[in-house]
Structure 1
Amino acid sequence: MTLRQIKPGNRGFLYVNSHPAGCAAVVDELWQQTPAPSGPDTGAGPVALIIGSSAGYGLAATVAALRTHGMRGLGIAFEAPETERRTASGGWYRTARTAELAGPDGDFAFLNADAFSDAAKEQALDHLAARYGRVDHLVYSVAAPRRTDPATGEVHHSAIKPLGSAYRAKTLQFDGDTPLVGSLELDPAVDAERDATVQVMGGADWKLWVDALTDRGLVHPGFHTVALTYVGSDLTAPIYRAGTIGAAKQHLEDTARRLQQDLAPLGGQAHTVVAGAAVTQASTAIPSIALYTSLLRAELGDGFRSTAQQATALWQQLTGAAPLQLDEEQRIRLDGWEMDEEVQAAVHARWAAATTDTLAELADTDWFRAQVGRLYGWHVPGTDYDAPVRTTVPWPSGI
């Protein structure tokens, strides 16, 4: 066993190394934040396919499925192994720890593969068919910068840009350890950039997964599939909901309605899930989101709902323990705590007053920076970062 002493090696919000022990501790915290089963053991749990199981809401959904519901099935993620120059990715180490917590008697496997590819679909469905026969739930939580269309081979690259007109707004920046309020201006996307973003982040791949399951007869009566989306504040709307990402999210929601029609004869359902704000690797790449989230956290404090809390609420609805909380567009809403009118009014006031001089009293930038580091296993309390650590961790066996 080789031990290495590693350093974060970060530039801004991007870290080149992940800490195995810190990543494991993050998963342990998610596990503890998720309720244990409250009722008697009724035998084998439902079968779930969770695509994007190693990070963000997908990870939280996986942990909640395993911890609370004894879920069986398969999680899919696309993570980088260790090299001579760098550690494995944070998602690699988180997946390894998630599998450990599921225990030796757990019936949940993990596949490291590009979920956009036909090969991943074939391998995953072969496993599900041989092991379970049918699937009860499909959770789609994929965030990626690019996608290769399996039908054409064309590579589409997403763009984070406004639509229609330029976007200029405040941003959160760090000069060393010092948080600053800066500004950024982005030109509007051209049609090709908008269309490419829809191809990457819209519902095309989600539908391919559902179609593949139904074509092979792997959909159980009562099957329910959901895909994660976000609405957010009108403060960030020009770069998010009204921008290229928003066009992709609209396509995702339109896809949910088409899937709902397709699945209805089979007794199935399809919905998008509007989650609340969170610090994820995807969200840190979006201008203004860091500042907005820091302000929101300062306003709400412990009222800021974690991904574990949101995933717990989601599974309660998917398993029938609680009724579906649908809006007028038939989306499951988990973001009421964020979108509350009084909360939004208070965050608007903080946003208007936010400058470098006022930032310390208006935004929780220390919390935000720590949350970014935790994505890679850094800034996790109780982790000894001075001690050498085993960085070579095998991917969980099983598929």
Structure 2
Amino acid sequence: MSARVITPRNRGFLFLDSHPAGCKRLVEDMWQAVPGPAADPSPDAPVALVIGSSAGHGLAATVAGLKRVGFHGIGICFEKEPTERRTATAGWYRTAATARYAESTGRDLVFLNGDAFADSMKSHVGDLIEKRFGGRLDYLIYSVAAPRRTDPDTGTTYASVLKPIGQPHSTKTLVFNEDGAPEVREVETEPAEGDDIQQTVAVMGGADWDRWISHLADRGLLAEGFTTAALSYIGSPLTAAIYRQGTIGAAKTHLEATARTLNERLGKLVGGRAVTSVNGAAITQSSTAIPSIALYVGLLRGVLGESLVSPARQLTELWDQLTGTAPLTVDDEGRVRLDTWELADDVQAAVAARWKDATTSNIADLADLEWFQAEVRRLYGFDVPGIDYSRPVETAIPWPTHTP
């Protein structure tokens, strides 16, 4: 047994430990937020692969797909196990909780912990689809945010960066000091140089998504009508210079171009389809690392309040479109738009006005800071209603096992 009291220790938005009971409750809350099945569950349910299944919108895609669609399949993530000194990562505990829901609803869902960029993982997944799931895959959700990727063909390791393109960019950002007090600061980020753009595109663009589809297609594992969606983000003009017009934006543009190429190829091959899903803003472990995003999302919540659409609701809508419960609607670039609530003119005008006025002295009046700080802590299982953090909790939660 390794039960102990876990208290939050953090460096900025990064927490050193996570709370198993809090992570479990978060998955329970997400499950409750997803409407019931769109159709009666069937033993011949679709087979889905979710790449990046343990956090953010990828976790929401897994939980929403389980409850709304009732799929069988595979989830892939890259998490650290618990040790004597440290808890497991939050995604480890969230995966264990998600696996329990799959089991309780009779869904055969296998979770794999490893490098989704590696060809060995692709081969392992192909073997599972072939031997365990009847040799067919109906859906693939691609939701990967990573700092680096090793190209299986060349062995070259690429690293992604968060930089503007062309010139330095100065922007407001939100930080919290050691006492937890908010500060609005002006930060300047130097522009991309050398091969920064190419490196970021190699990690966060569509190369690996394309490689997954090619690997599974070459093995004849794509079902007739196979559909795949890569999760993406555009965001506000307020964050465009560091995000959509920056190095990450170049990668997202490549991802969307890959979707158009895959869409044409899959249409000819299996009558299938490929899209990108442009999701709305959310607090995730990836987004908090981006300058200005913390301030922007706090202000957005200040404007929208409870009308801010959660990842669970967004991904429920995506599954409904992918499965035909609702019409699949795409824009001129072939993108499913789940962000229209965020980018509505009146919403953006209200956020922009608050952004212009935001200072350290008035930020508490303009942004929902209590919600923002709580959301950051909840990423790691802290500040979750209903959890007694004074009680010892078991940290050595095993990874979900599956019988051959």
Q: TM-score range by the shorter chain?
A: over 0.9
Per-residue deviation at 1:270? 0.4
Moved over 3 A (4+): 38-43
Q: Does 1:294 align with 2:294?
A: no
Letter in 1 for 2:314: Q
Deviations 1:286-342 (A, max 9, x none): 000000000000100011000000010000000001111211111000001001010
Percent identical among aligned pairs is 56
Hey, what's the Cα distance between the residues in 2 that align with 1:95 and 1:40? 25
* Mapped pair 1:397 → 2:398: no
Find the aligned partners of 1:159 and 1:68 in 2 and give their Cα distance: 36
Corresponding residue SS for 2:238? coil
Q: Which residue of 1 aligns with 2:182?
A: 179
Q: How far did 1:246 drift?
A: 0.3
Aligned residue identity for 2:255: L
Give the Cα–Cα distance (whole angstroms) in 1 for the partners of residues 44 and 27 of structure 2: 24
Matching of residue 110 in structure 1 with residue 111 in structure 2: yes
C-alpha RMSD over aligned residues: 1.0
Matches for 1:163-174 after TM superposition, within 5 Å: 163-174=165-176
Aligned to 1:263: 266
Which residues in structure 2 correspond to 1:13-162 (within 5 Å)? 13-104=13-104, 105-132=106-133, 133-162=135-164
Cα distance in structure 2, aligned partners of 1:24 and 1:43: 27
State how far apart, in whole Å, the 2-side matches of 1:44 and 1:8 are: 44
For the residue of structure 2 that corresponds to 1:103, the secondary structure is helix
1:220-299 correspondence to structure 2 within 5 Å = 220-265=223-268, 266-299=270-303
- What is the aligned residue count? 399
Give the secondary-structure state (helix, strand or coil) at the position aligned to 2:239. coil
- What is the TM-score when the length of structure 2 is the normalising length? 0.97
The reply on whether 1:363 has 2:367 as its aligned counterpart is yes
Q: Which runs of 5+ in 1 are unaligned?
A: none
Partner Cα separation in structure 2 for residue 385 and residue 128 of structure 1: 41
Q: Is the 8 A contact 2:61 2:316 kept in 1?
A: yes
Deviation at 1:347, TM superposition (A): 0.5
Question: Once the 2 structures are TM-superposed, how far is the Cα of residue 152 of structure 1 from its aligned partner?
Answer: 1.0
Cα offsets for 1:66-124 (capped at 9, x unmatched): 11111100000010001222110000000000001112532111000100001111111
* In 2: Cα distance, 1:397 partner to 1:168 partner: 48
Question: Once the 2 structures are TM-superposed, how far is the Cα of residue 6 of structure 1 from its aligned partner?
Answer: 1.6
1:207 aligns with 2:210: yes
Contact 1:44–1:70, Cα closer than 8 Å, also in 2: no
Quick check: 272-281 or 82-91, which moved more? Answer: 82-91
Q: SS state of the match for residue 140, structure 2?
A: strand
Matches within 5 A, 1:312-391: 312-391=316-395
- What is the distance in 1 between the residues matched to 2:216 and 2:168? 42
User: Distance between the aligned counterparts of 2:129 and 2:381, measured in 1?
Assistant: 31
* Contact 2:38–2:69 (CA under 8 A) maintained in structure 1: no
Q: Secondary structure at the match of 1:278?
A: coil
Q: Secondary structure at the match of 2:95?
A: helix
Confirm or deny: 8 A CA contact 1:22 1:377 kept in the other structure.
yes
Match status 1:190 vs 2:186: no
Contact 1:21 1:383 in 2 (8 A): yes
Once residues 205 and 389 of structure 2 are traced to their aligned partners in structure 1, the CA distance between those partners, rounded to angstroms, is: 39
Give TM-score scaled by structure 1 length: 0.98
Give, in whole Å, the separation in 1 of the partners of 2:318 and 2:107: 22
